[in-house]
Amino acid sequence: DTAVSQTPKYLVTQMGNDKSIKCEQNLGHDTMYWYKQDSKKFLKIMFSYNNKELIINETVPNRFSPKSPDKAHLNLHINSLELGDSAVYFCASSRGAPGMNTEAFFGQGTRLTVV
Amino acid sequence: GNSVTQMEGPVTLSEEAFLTINCTYTATGYPSLFWYVQYPGEGLQLLLKATKADDKGSNKGFEATYRKETTSFHLEKGSVQVSDSAVYFCALSPQGGSEKLVFGKGTKLTVNP
């Protein structure tokens, strides 16, 4: 009955590879997000989708491409992985915008290590 | 632009000590304010929130009051436990709702028995 689930939990891969991280939420939320947490624990938003439409795209390299097949899923595909992509990636969802009385629910995170 | 500044960590306390983690923000109008907690190896969980000035959010013995005059949302707990060891994030959502949260850099708290 996990609310926001992402797979895999750990991902170790070589530079130059292409990889995907999947995220699913069973909360019926309209908005989903991808956040990146660096080694110093700093969290920064990457993307946000509302009802399958991209609404936030922060300054992220083109190698990162989110895909939302339906509003319950938001996958993250990364091409040509680089060492600097190593981080923990968190998926999150919220009923609407995360202000007022809504809150964002986070997945457990995917620890990506590029070697 | 919108930003959140929280005190640098790490913070190490003994059990039953008093905790304060400072958080100040920069935003126009009246953002909503949040504290999230990340336990080791887990994702973030909402700890408490406040959506208007002078509101006090509280949960699990933690409290924070939305102070518009000082643009602050400091987190406090009167008596910490070992199980409170985690990373704490202050965050804001701009007035009128927004599709993103702006996070502070996080403060790691370690509570020793």
**Mind listing the pLDDT tens digit of every residue in chain A (115 residues)?**
679 999 999 999 999 999 999 999 999 998 899 999 988 888 888 988 888 888 877 778 999 999 999 989 999 999 999 999 999 999 999 887 665 556 789 999 999 999 9
B107-112 and B11-14 beta bridge pairing: parallel
pLDDT in tens, B16-61: 999 999 999 999 888 889 999 999 888 899 999 998 899 999 999 9
pLDDT of residue A81: 97
Give the minimum alpha-carbon distance from B10 to chain A in angstroms, rounded to a whole number. Answer: 11
Contacts of B97 in chain A (CB under 8 A): 96-100, 102
Of A40, A98, A100, the CB nearest to B101: A98
**Looking at the predicted structure, is the pLDDT value of residue B98 above 80?**
no
pLDDT of residue B63: 98
Contacts of B106 in chain A (CB under 8 A): 41-43
> Taking residues B70-76, what's their average pLDDT?
97
The residues pairing with A112 across neighbouring beta strands, listed in sequence order, are: A11, A87
C-alpha distances in Å from residue B74, one per residue of A82, A107, A114, B33, B48: 38, 26, 37, 10, 12
Quote the mean pLDDT of chain B. Answer: 92
pLDDT of residue A60: 86
Considering chain B, what percentage of its residues have pLDDT values greater than 70?
96
Among positive and negative, which fits the CA dihedral B80, B108, A13, A31? positive
pLDDT in tens, A19-45: 999 999 999 998 899 999 988 888 888
- Sorting pLDDT into bands at 50, 70 and 90, what band is B65? very high
Sheet containing B19-21: which strands, arranged edge to edge? Answer: B19-21, B75-77, B62-65, B56-59
Q: Do B89 and A109 touch (CB under 8 A)?
A: no
pLDDT of residue A98: 60
Q: Is A101 on the interface with B (CB under 8 A)?
A: yes
Listed in sequence order, the DSSP H helices in A1-115 are none
